[in-house]
Amino acid sequence: MKHVNVILPGGLRAGLFQALGQKGLNRKVAVSGTHFVAVPEMIAVTA
């Protein structure tokens, strides 16, 4: 399943992906943005 990735200012994006990688996991990111309020629109246009 692909994910929407919301990157907050000063966020932990690199740390999250690094931690997942150490456990042999990954995320399939379909689209990234900087605001949670934009998520419904991002999903609508990519679905």
Instruction: Give DSSP secondary structure letters for 1-47.
Output: -EEEEE--TT--HHHHHHHHHHTT---EEEEEES-GGGHHHHHHHH-
Task: Please report which confidence band the pLDDT of residue 45 belongs to, taking 50, 70 and 90 as the band edges.
Answer: confident
Domains identified in the chain, total number: 1
Q: Under a CB-based contact definition with an 8 Å cutoff, are residues 46 and 31 in contact?
A: yes
Domain that holds residue 23: 2-46
* pLDDT per position as a tens digit, 22-38: 999 988 888 888 888 98
